[in-house]
Structure formats: structure tokens, C-alpha cells
Amino acid sequence: MKRECKLCFNESDDIIEVEEMMFGFKTYFEYLYCDSCQSLSLINIPNNMVDYYPRNYYSFVKRSANKFKNWISKSKSANTLGDFSIIGCSVRFLTGRNSNLKAIKICKPDKNTSRILDIGCGDGFLLDKLNEQGFKKLFGIDPYLEKEIQKNDYKIRKESVEGLVNEKCKFDIIILSHVFEHFEEPHSSLKNIYKLLESNGALILRSPISSCYAFKKYKKNWYQIDAPRHILIPSFSGLKQMCEKLGFRLQNYFFDSDAKQFLISANYKRGIPMISQNTNILKTRFYPKGMYFTIFSRILNLKDKGDQATFIFQKK
């Protein structure tokens, strides 16, 4: 039976069955691989989707209470945003850049006046970093929050994109970091995000990319399918075309995949869920297999074949 691609609406019949592996429920979900645009679409969105976002979902982003570690991290953020320091530069060299900050730097924001919205910001991990660096106009929304979070200098609301459109809000930079692939209505959500941007405003969109080496190698075990939370995993050309049709112009992009595409996917193949794996990034970088896969990932990134990318789209 033919099914419709959620990105380009082409009909095809290449269906793969994928297990829930983050928490190890191991229930099966069907995905359509589009033979036209190469994107992956979840065929049936489960009615109980909220059960697949347990309370510990956001605890995957670990925060440190260690003051020294936080100071190091702050130096690294400053360095990525363009302020040179030996400490920041060394830490960045060892642990890699933060792609969100790298993309924000490319947008050349003004710390005092640029309004930055992070959609699906969780508890404000990225916004807190920007706040530390002196950004004044920060906004966050996340529909999955239990309740609103009031920070010292900004607020995170339990709100949807549609809600902000109704309020006629406008922003200079909108960040969609690994959120697009969770949208149930990707076309209308992107249309609404377009409305929220000022003209010449920038959309920073980070997403897994299906036209990658890791999907070819691991197929249903590629960890970034993340069934059933990921609803549409776009190909590079598919996502670019979709955004251009809406009126965006691709200003810049970079692939930023890492060793996890090999380490976690190989464990999924062995039946080991994410929660039972040690995915500490430093550990994966500093043991031989991790180092090998880090270098391999960098090569794939240069060839546009990594399993995730950061796009900077400008509203025309």
C-alpha cells in the first residue's frame, strides 16, 4: 500500500519497522522512506504520544552544579560567540563547539536589542548560556513543560507556536534545535514560525538528516529515527526545498554529527536501549573507538553526509 511522504507528499511503499529504543519500550512503529526526497515519515502518530515523553525526558540534558566546570563552560560559550580566551579556545578544541552558539554568531545579533526565541527550550539550557553572555531579550516556549518557569532575567512559557502567532509576537532570531522532527504538522508549524520572524530575521534549524551515511549503514537501528518521537526526519535537499517554498533563503549551514551516530546505533543493533548506555561525550571522545568515530564523523560532516545539520535560514 502506498503512503504519503510528510515532507514532499510523494507516494511510495518502502516501509521500515522501528523499535522505541530510547527508554527500551521496544514497541514497533512504521516509517515511510520517501523514494523521491529520501525523508522518513512516521506513518501513524500514536494517540498516547505523551507516554513517550516520560518525566525524565529532559534529564538527558545534565547540568553541573560544579562552579569550576560552569566557569569553564562559560569561557567556552564566550569563545564560540567570538570573544577570544586561551581557556575558552582550549576547551572548545577539546570538547567541540556548541552548534547553537556557532549559528547565533553567524547571525550577528545585538546583545541588547535582538529578540531571540528558543522553541522547545526545555528548562532553558541554551537560553541560560545566552543570558550568561549578556543577551538581554530572551524568550522560551515549550508545550511539554509542566508549568511556566520564571528565571531571573527571562521567562519560559508553556505555550505553542500558534499561541505566539495569535499574540502577534515578533522575533529577530528563532531557534529550533532538534524540535522540527517532533512537529506533528511540520508544514503549518514552519509557516507559523515564518510569521513570527521580522523580515530579514533568521531561523536556526537543527535536525537529524536522513540522507546520511549512518542511516544507510544502520537502517532501522539508526538512533536518530528515535521512534515514535521523531515524526518527520528530513533529507538535506528535502528540508532546504520545503523552507525555500515558504519564503526562506538558505544563508548558511554546517553538518555537526558526532560519534554517537555510530556508538549508539551499534548498541541499538545489539538491543541495548539509550538509557542503559553511557553516552558521556568526553568518554566517547577519549577512548580509541570514540576517537576513531569522532574523526570519521568530521569527514562525513565535510561531505554533507553526517547524520545531523544546522541550517540558518533568512526570512526574505
Tell whether residue 5 is a contact of Zn ion (CB under 5 A).
yes
Report in angstroms how near the CB of residue 37 gets to Zn ion at its nearest.
3
Q: Is residue 233 a contact residue for Zn ion (CB under 5 A)? A: no
Q: What DSSP line would sit under 227-272, residue for residue?
A: TTT--EE--HHHHHHHHHHHTEEEEEEEE---THHHHHHHHHHTT-
Nearest CA to 176 out of 242, 228, 274 is that of 242
Residue 239 sits in the site that holds Zn ion (CB under 5 A): no
Member of 7, 32, 40, 145 binding Zn ion (CB under 5 A): 7
Is 18 a binding residue for Zn ion by CB under 5 A? The answer is no
- The single residue among 8, 179, 205, 232 that binds Zn ion, judged by CB under 5 A, is 8
Q: Which stretch binds Zn ion (CB under 5 A): 4-12, 143-151, 226-234, 244-252?
A: 4-12
Instruction: Write the interaction track for Zn ion spanning residues 22-51; mark x where CB under 5 A is met and - where it is not.
Output: ------------x-xx-x------------
- Closest to Zn ion by CB, 39 or 267: 39
| Contact flag: residue 107 with Zn ion (CB under 5 A) | no
**In the complex, least distance from residue 210 CB atom to Zn ion, rounded to whole angstroms:** 10
Give the nearer residue to Zn ion in terms of CB position, either 8 or 196: 8
C-beta of 37 vs 205, nearer to Zn ion: 37
Closer Cβ to Zn ion, 10 or 95, answer by number = 10
Number of residues that bind Zn ion (CB under 5 A): 8
231 binds Zn ion (CB under 5 A): no
Residue numbers of the site for Zn ion (CB under 5 A)? 5, 7-8, 10, 34, 36-37, 39
